Structure 1
Amino acid sequence: MYVRSLELKNYRNYERLNLDLNKGLNIFVGENAQGKTNIVESIYYLSSLRSHRTNRDRELIMWGKDKAYIRADVEKMFGKHTMEFLLSSEGKKAVKIDGVKTSKVSDFLGTVNVVIFSPEDLKLVKEGPAIRRRFIDAELNQIRPKYHHAILQYNHILMQRNNLLKSILKSPSLKMTAEVFSEQLAEYGSFITEARYEFVKKLSLISRLIHRKITNGKEELEIIYKSASGENMDRKSIKDELYKYYTENIMEDAEKGYTLKGPHRDDIIIKINGADARIYGSQGQQRTAALSLKLSELEIIKSEVSEYPVLLLDDVLSELDINRQHFLLDALKEIQTVLTCTSLNDINEFHFENKDVFKVTAGKIEKFNAV
């Protein structure tokens, strides 16, 4: 799949933009704060109905304007689609696919698949569990629309339970009310945990093979899903374990003021040669592991939808050494890639049959043939 054309109106610093992209490598070069990442962000929006930088659509609208518009023509193996998004400063949004308005996110997710790799993703290994949960959730949302619904429902019910927990110590009679949430939390929580576990099994297998290639067989990468739900990862066992916890530990959670157990607390453990990479890995090892994980996303999505997603590389080459740069770019021959950088020096030596270069200056884009 690939994005053939992109149109923006009043989006970030683009008052009006019409852009044609090719199936191969599309390079956007320019100084910082000129609008390169805004292009990447708008394409990411096509897959997720959200930005990778903010949760507020209002920030995507040009200063002083009330609305922003995104339109993209997408070509896939089994057809073409036109996607349109109208964002309002009031927080409302309108979405159309092939001219038909849709209000259900599940009808929209999966129309186009995107993988993004930015400097923030290099923190996948060394930062806390939240960033790794977001990494898993972002991909599962694309390939399993029901997962997105489960996450929304789980988080909503969890917030209700946590709000109630803060009042139980003063009003113990509210304990019975908290028990009402146990069944629903266990139902959605078990679905989320099982889906993540299955995803991580695939991720571990594929990333291990990729990591071996990057390190010339010197390192073995292992990804393990760490859940508080126990060792049995079938859905019934997970649900029983979660339900037992939610019903039997209300007062313990009330003392803390929040729910201590569930998929919102789970993590993945990343090991290199048997050692926890977060604790014992060098910076180079951690970055190689992050690269292996991101490249694995491409293969997992292809296995699910039968074609590669669009890959967005936002100023990430400057964070990788030359060997990792070579491995990354050599892997992109069959994938539409949108790459941002501040200089063309790092990519002049790489040969791509389909390659376009765009100069970005203060929200204006000019195509040229410098490479």
Structure 2
Amino acid sequence: MYVDNIRLINFRNYMNLKLKLHKKVNIFIGKNAQGKTNLLESIYVCSSGKSFRTNVDRDMINFKKNQSYIGAKVIGEHLDKTIEIKIDRNKPKRIKVNKLEIERNKELYGGLNVVVFSPEDLRIIKDGPSERRDFIDREISQIKPMYRYNLNKYNKILFQRNNLLKNMRMNEKNKHLVDIFNIQMAKIGSKIIIERAKFIEKISRSSKRIHKNVTRGEENLSLKYKTNVVDSFNDILYIENLFIKKLENNIKDDILKGTTKIGPHRDDIDIFINNVYSKTYASQGQQRTAILSIKLAEVDIIKEEKNDYPVLLLDDVLSELDKDRRKFLVHAFKDLQTIITSTDIIDIKEFDPLNKKIFHIDNGEIL
């Protein structure tokens, strides 16, 4: 799978761009704040309907304009799609695939699979559980579109249950309604837990192998899924029943706090390097290498699930990697389209053997 060409109108600092991409390696060089990340963002939006940088669509519109447009031609082994996205400051976003308008972002999933690696991804290790949940939710949604549907449904039920809990502080007559929400949460939540457990098991296994190669066998990387619902993930009915029991047992505390303490909305991932908790004890270099291994493991998983490689987006990460790790990436790139941004051409000298195209970016203009 690869992006053949892209068209941007009034997107961030791109006023009118038509760009033909190479099937393999594309390298964009420019100083900071010239539009390198904006270009990667536009490709990512075509894969999910959302940005990896903002939750507000209108932030992607050029500040002098009221509308923006992204168009991309995507080609795969059994795929030929044109994805078009129009963003308006005062109207809902519109998405078309091969000229047919789609109603929901989730209908985009599978049309273009991408994996993005940027310096901000260190937050997966450094920040709190919500950052790690967002990470696994984004990646599972690419390969399992139904997962995003279940996640949205679960969050709506959770919101309704929490509102009910707050009202029950003064009036506990609505206990029967809580029971209904418990059943609904457990039914949908158990599906989310199962998918997360499967995904983390796969990415842990793959990233462990990659990390050993990247570090020449010196480090062992492992990921562990943490949920307060259950310890075993083999039987969905068992998870569902235990989920309901825990919600029932915790009801007094939930009413007191006005929030739901049990469920996948409290999940987390522990990331270990040589059996040591990476968030607390790993150096920044070790953390960066761990995230690199996890991102490359995503590539493997998408290839396994979709029988086609995703597009790999590397946003200004080369300068943070040593020569050996850059050489490792060269080997990893040979089978997939990769789009790289860098501030310095020196960072890319290891890529000389690759089939590639080099672009220069200056204030939203590509030379």
The TM-score, its normalising length taken from structure 1, stands at 0.95
Q: Which amino acid aligns with 1:309?
A: P
Q: Which moved more, 1:324-333 or 1:43-52?
A: 324-333
Q: Is the 8 A contact 1:9 1:16 kept in 2?
A: yes
Moved over 3 A (4+): none
Question: Counterparts of 1:289-328 in structure 2 under 5 Å?
Answer: 289-328=290-329
Instruction: Give 1:127 shift.
Output: 2.3
Q: Which amino acid aligns with 1:341?
A: S
> Structure 1 residues 353 and 284 mapped into 2: Cα distance closer, same or farther (>3 Å)?
closer
> Structure 1 residues 10 and 133 mapped into 2: Cα distance closer, same or farther (>3 Å)?
same
The answer for the alignment partner of 2:334 in structure 1 is 333
Q: Is the 8 A contact 1:29 1:342 kept in 2?
A: yes
The answer for the alignment partner of 2:215 in structure 1 is 215
Q: Is the 8 A contact 1:84 1:95 kept in 2?
A: yes
Q: Which amino acid aligns with 1:263?
A: P
- Corresponding position: 1:178 with 2:149: no
Q: Is the 8 A contact 1:132 1:267 kept in 2?
A: yes
**Over residues 204-227 of structure 1, what are the superposed CA-to-partner deviations in whole Å (9 max), with x where a residue is unaligned?**
111111111112112222211111
**Over residues 158-214 of structure 1, what are the superposed CA-to-partner deviations in whole Å (9 max), with x where a residue is unaligned?**
112222222221222244333321111111111111000001111111111111111
The answer for the alignment partner of 1:273 in structure 2 is 274
Q: Is the 8 A contact 1:175 1:250 kept in 2?
A: no
In angstroms, what is the RMSD of aligned CA positions?
Answer: 1.5
Q: Is the 8 A contact 1:28 1:36 kept in 2?
A: yes
The answer for the alignment partner of 1:194 in structure 2 is 194
The answer for the alignment partner of 1:235 in structure 2 is 236
In 1, Cα distance between equivalents of 2:311 and 2:317: 16
- Corresponding position: 1:82 with 2:53: no
The answer for the alignment partner of 2:161 in structure 1 is 161
Question: Counterparts of 1:95-106 in structure 2 under 5 Å?
Answer: 95-106=95-106
Residue ranges of structure 2 left out of the alignment (5+ in a row):
none
Q: Which amino acid aligns with 1:258?
A: T
In 1, Cα distance between equivalents of 2:8 and 2:332: 30
In 2, Cα distance between equivalents of 1:220 and 1:349: 26
In 1, Cα distance between equivalents of 2:74 and 2:288: 32
Structure 1 residue matching 2:17: 3-state secondary structure: strand
Structure 1 residue matching 2:110: 3-state secondary structure: coil
Q: Which moved more, 1:58-67 or 1:349-358?
A: 349-358
- Corresponding position: 1:254 with 2:265: no
Q: Which amino acid aligns with 1:339?
A: I
In 2, Cα distance between equivalents of 1:232 and 1:208: 22
Structure 2 residue matching 1:224: 3-state secondary structure: strand
In 2, Cα distance between equivalents of 1:185 and 1:222: 30
In 1, Cα distance between equivalents of 2:230 and 2:124: 24
In 2, Cα distance between equivalents of 1:115 and 1:122: 15
The answer for the alignment partner of 1:363 in structure 2 is 364
Q: How many residues align?
A: 366
Instruction: Give 1:23 shift.
Output: 0.9
> Structure 1 residues 59 and 101 mapped into 2: Cα distance closer, same or farther (>3 Å)?
same
Q: Which moved more, 1:169-178 or 1:77-86?
A: 169-178
Q: Is the 8 A contact 1:29 1:341 kept in 2?
A: yes
> Structure 1 residues 352 and 155 mapped into 2: Cα distance closer, same or farther (>3 Å)?
farther
In 2, Cα distance between equivalents of 1:292 and 1:257: 40
Q: Is the 8 A contact 2:140 2:147 kept in 1?
A: yes
**Over residues 20-49 of structure 1, what are the superposed CA-to-partner deviations in whole Å (9 max), with x where a residue is unaligned?**
000111111111111111100000011111
Q: Which amino acid aligns with 1:272?
A: I
In 2, Cα distance between equivalents of 1:90 and 1:168: 38
In 2, Cα distance between equivalents of 1:200 and 1:154: 20
In 1, Cα distance between equivalents of 2:114 and 2:350: 26
Q: Is the 8 A contact 2:230 2:243 kept in 1?
A: no
In 2, Cα distance between equivalents of 1:115 and 1:44: 8
Q: Which amino acid aligns with 1:221?
A: L
The answer for the alignment partner of 2:93 in structure 1 is 93
Residue ranges of structure 1 left out of the alignment (5+ in a row):
367-371
**Over residues 78-100 of structure 1, what are the superposed CA-to-partner deviations in whole Å (9 max), with x where a residue is unaligned?**
13111111111124021111111
In 2, Cα distance between equivalents of 1:321 and 1:235: 44
In 2, Cα distance between equivalents of 1:144 and 1:91: 29
In 2, Cα distance between equivalents of 1:178 and 1:100: 42
Q: Which amino acid aligns with 2:236?
A: R
In 2, Cα distance between equivalents of 1:329 and 1:161: 50
